[in-house]
C-alpha cells in the first residue's frame, strides 16, 4: 500500500471529559486546514482518530470496541490513538489489532505532521514523551458540534490525589494566556454559539504556568471578570472547580454577572474526613459545606453538582453511610457517582482495605438513587418559575430539549425554529422521563 495518504476523509471519536471534546475539535480543525473532510465516525473514512480517556476502567475497555467498529467500516483505514490512555499505556494501545499510530501528551496536537509517514505495512508507531516534557500549553475549544462550546483554559494538575492518574497523563498545571482565552471566546462568539463552558483539568488553578513557569499575573477570578465582558456570548458556565479553589469572591461575582450562570459542579469525592485525608484532597467536608451554604445564600436557585467516589480502599460501611448521610442532608442538585477502580502507578492501588467489587456496585447504586431524588427535588423547587432555555439541535422523539441557566433540563414539542435560540419560559410540569415539560 502507498506510504502516502492521497484521500481526504477523517473521523473522530472522543472518550471522556469536556476537555477531551475541546481538544478533539482543535485536532479536527488541524486536519481541515490540511484539506481533509471530516465525516461521522460511523461512516467510511481514511483516518480514524480516537481521543482516549483513562479516568475509569470502562473507558479503557471501550477503546478496543471502538477500534473494531472503525475496522469493520474500512479495514484499510489508519487508526490513530491520542489522549490520556495513549500517554499512560502507549504500548498497550499499540498492541490492539488495527491501531497504526499512538501519540502521547505532547504529540497529539502535531498529529498532521505524522500523516505522510503512515503505512499499514509497518509496525504500529508510538510517539510518547516523558510526561515531564508536557510543560507547554495548547489552547483548544470545541465548535460546530453542539449548541455550546467547550473552551479549554487550563491543562495538567499539580495535585497528588492518591487515586488519580491525570498528572501522569497530562503533566503539570499550566494555563492559557488571558489574551488567548479572550481571543478564542471571541472566535466562538462569531460562530453564533450562545454558551461557553469553561473547561480544564483544574480550572480553579487558572493563571499558574501562564508564562511557561509557575509565575503568573492572573487568577481564576480575573479570568471570569474578563470573560463576562465578551460580546455575543449569552452564557458562561463553569464546568468543574475544586472546593478549595472556589473563593467567595468568585461566587459573589457569578451571582451578579452578565453572562455567568448559577451552576457549579464541585468535586467532593467523599463525605468523610478520614477518607478525604487518605485521598490527599485539599479540603475537609466542613469547607465543602461552607461553599454550598455561600452559593445558596447569594443564589438560592443555583444548581450544584457533586462528584463522589465509592469503594475507595479502606471505605467501611460506616465511612460510606457518613458520605451518604452528608450528601442527603446537603442542599445540592445532582451527583456524578464514580466507582473506584485501581490505577497503575497510583498510591491508592497499593493501599490495604480493598473493597469487594460487589460492595462497590451496591454503594454506587445507592448513591445513584440518591442523585435521582436530589435532581427531582431540585426540579420540583423550580416549578412555576420563569427561566431562560437554550434549545438544542436534536429532534428527540418529537421533542426539542434544552437547559435553563440553572441547568434544569426541559423539553417541548419539536420546533426547528427554536434551535440555538434562548427562550423565556415558565417551568410547568415534570414529565414521566424526569424532564420538565413546557406546556
Q: Where are the domains of the chain?
A: 9-133, 140-381, 385-438
What pLDDT is recorded for position 211?
63
Rounded to an integer, the average pLDDT of 309-325 is 98
pLDDT band of residue 270 (cuts 50, 70, 90) is: very high
Considering only residues 276 and 393, tell me which one the structure prediction assigns the higher pLDDT: 276
Rounded to an integer, the average pLDDT of 338-353 is 93
Give the integer Cα–Cα distance in Å for 98 and 66. 11
pLDDT tens string 102-125 = 998 778 878 888 876 656 556 777
- CATH class given for the domain over 140-381: alpha beta
pLDDT band of residue 53 (cuts 50, 70, 90) is: confident
What pLDDT is recorded for position 81?
92
Give the integer Cα–Cα distance in Å for 19 and 142. 9
Give the integer Cα–Cα distance in Å for 128 and 81. 11
pLDDT band of residue 55 (cuts 50, 70, 90) is: low
Give the integer Cα–Cα distance in Å for 155 and 84. 12
What pLDDT is recorded for position 29?
86
Give the integer Cα–Cα distance in Å for 53 and 164. 12
What is the second-level CATH architecture of the domain 9-133? 3-Layer(aba) Sandwich (3.40)
Give the integer Cα–Cα distance in Å for 303 and 415. 27
What pLDDT is recorded for position 72?
92
What pLDDT is recorded for position 415?
95
Max mean pLDDT range (152-156, 261-265, 435-439): 261-265
What pLDDT is recorded for position 272?
97
Is residue 5 over pLDDT 50? no
What pLDDT is recorded for position 294?
98
Is residue 376 over pLDDT 80? yes
Is residue 391 over pLDDT 70? yes
Is residue 403 over pLDDT 70? yes
Rounded to an integer, the average pLDDT of 223-252 is 95
pLDDT band of residue 352 (cuts 50, 70, 90) is: very high
Query: Within 13 Å, how many C-alpha atoms sit on residue 185's CB side?
Result: 28
Instruction: Produce one character per residue of 144-182: b if its CB has 16 or more CB atoms within 10 Å, e if not.
Output: eebbbbbbbbbbbbebebbbbbbbbbbbbbbbbbbeebb
Q: Are 420 and 400 in contact (CB under 8 A)?
A: no
Instruction: Produce one character per residue of 271-306: b if its CB has 16 or more CB atoms within 10 Å, e if not.
Output: bbeebbebbebebebeebbebbebbbeebebbbbbb
The mean predicted confidence, pLDDT, of the chain is 89
What pLDDT is recorded for position 145?
53
What pLDDT is recorded for position 140?
74
Query: Within 13 Å, how many C-alpha atoms sit on residue 204's CB side?
Result: 19
What pLDDT is recorded for position 76?
87
Considering only residues 112 and 73, tell me which one the structure prediction assigns the higher pLDDT: 73
Q: Are 241 and 203 in contact (CB under 8 A)?
A: yes
Is residue 39 over pLDDT 50? yes
Rounded to an integer, the average pLDDT of 336-344 is 92
What are the φ/ψ torsions at residue 207 (nearest 5 degrees)?
Answer: 110, -45
pLDDT band of residue 86 (cuts 50, 70, 90) is: confident
pLDDT tens string 178-207 = 999 999 999 999 988 999 999 999 999 999
Amino acid at each position: 500500500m502507498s506510504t502516502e495518504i492521497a484521500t481526504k476523509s477523517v473521523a473522530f471519536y472522543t472518550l471522556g471529559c469536556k476537555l477531551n471534546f475541546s481538544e478533539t475539535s482543535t485536532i479536527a480543525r488541524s486536519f481541515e486546514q490540511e484539506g481533509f473532510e471530516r465525516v461521522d465516525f460511523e461512516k467510511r473514512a481514511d483516518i480514524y482518530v480516537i481521543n482516549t480517556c483513562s479516568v475509569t476502567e470502562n473507558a479503557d475497555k471501550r477503546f478496543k470496541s471502538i477500534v473494531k467498529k472503525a475496522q469493520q467500516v474500512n479495514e484499510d483505514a489508519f487508526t490513530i490513538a491520542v489522549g490520556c490512555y495513549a500517554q499512560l499505556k502507549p504500548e498497550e494501545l499499540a498492541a490492539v489489532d488495527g491501531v497504526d499510530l499512538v501519540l502521547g501528551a505532547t504529540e497529539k496536537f502535531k498529529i498532521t505532521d505524522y500523516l505522510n509517514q503512515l503505512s499499514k505495512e509497518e509496525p504500529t508507531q508510538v510517539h510518547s514523551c516523558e510526561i515531564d516534557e508536557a510543560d507547554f500549553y495548547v489552547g483548544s475549544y470545541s465548535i460546530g458540534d453542539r449548541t455550546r462550546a467547550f473552551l479549554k483554559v487550563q491543562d495538567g494538575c499539580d495535585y497528588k490525589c492518591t487515586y488519580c492518574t491525570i498528572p501522569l497523563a497530562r503533566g503539570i498545571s499550566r494555563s492559557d494566556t488571558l489574551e488567548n482565552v479572550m481571543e478564542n471566546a471571541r472566535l466562538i462568539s462569531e460562530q453564533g454559539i450562545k454558551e461557553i463552558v469553561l473547561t480544564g483539568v483544574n480550572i480553579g488553578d487558572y493563571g499558574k504556568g501562564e508564562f511557561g513557569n509557575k509565575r503568573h499575573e492572573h487568577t481564576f477570578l480575573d479570568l471570569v471578570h474578563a470573560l463576562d465582558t465578551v460580546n455575543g456570548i449569552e452564557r458562561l458556565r463553569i464546568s468543574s472547580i475544586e472546593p478549595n479553589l472556589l473563593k467567595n469572591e468568585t461566587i459573589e461575582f457569578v451571582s451578579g454577572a452578565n453572562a455567568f450562570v448559577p451552576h457549579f459542579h464541585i468535586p467532593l469525592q467523599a463525605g468523610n474526613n478520614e477518607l478525604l485525608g487518605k485521598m490527599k484532597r485539599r479540603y475537609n467536608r466542613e469547607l465543602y459545606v461552607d461553599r454550598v451554604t455561600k452559593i445558596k445564600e447569594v443564589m438560592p436557585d443555583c444548581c450544584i453538582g457533586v462528584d463522589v467516589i465509592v469503594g475507595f480502599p479502606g471505605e467501611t460501611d460506616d465511612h460510606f453511610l457518613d458520605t451518604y448521610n452528608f450528601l442527603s442532608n446537603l442542599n445540592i442538585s445532582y451527583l456524578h457517582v464514580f466507582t473506584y477502580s485501581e490505577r497503575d502507578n497510583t498510591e491508592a492501588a497499593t493501599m490495604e482495605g480493598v473493597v469487594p467489587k460487589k460492595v462497590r456496585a451496591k454503594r454506587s447504586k445507592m448513591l445513584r438513587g440518591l442523585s435521582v431524588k436530589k435532581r427531582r427535588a431540585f426540579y420540583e423547587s423550580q416549578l412555576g418559575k420563569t427561566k431562560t432555555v437554550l434549545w438544542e439541535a436534536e429532534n428527540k422523539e418529537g421533542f426539542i430539549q434544552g437547559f435553563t441557566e440553572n441547568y434544569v433540563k426541559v423539553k417541548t414539542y419539536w420546533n426547528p425554529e427554536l434551535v440555538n435560540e434562548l427562550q423565556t419560559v415558565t417551568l410547568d410540569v415534570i414529565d414521566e422521563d424526569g424532564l420538565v415539560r413546557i406546556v
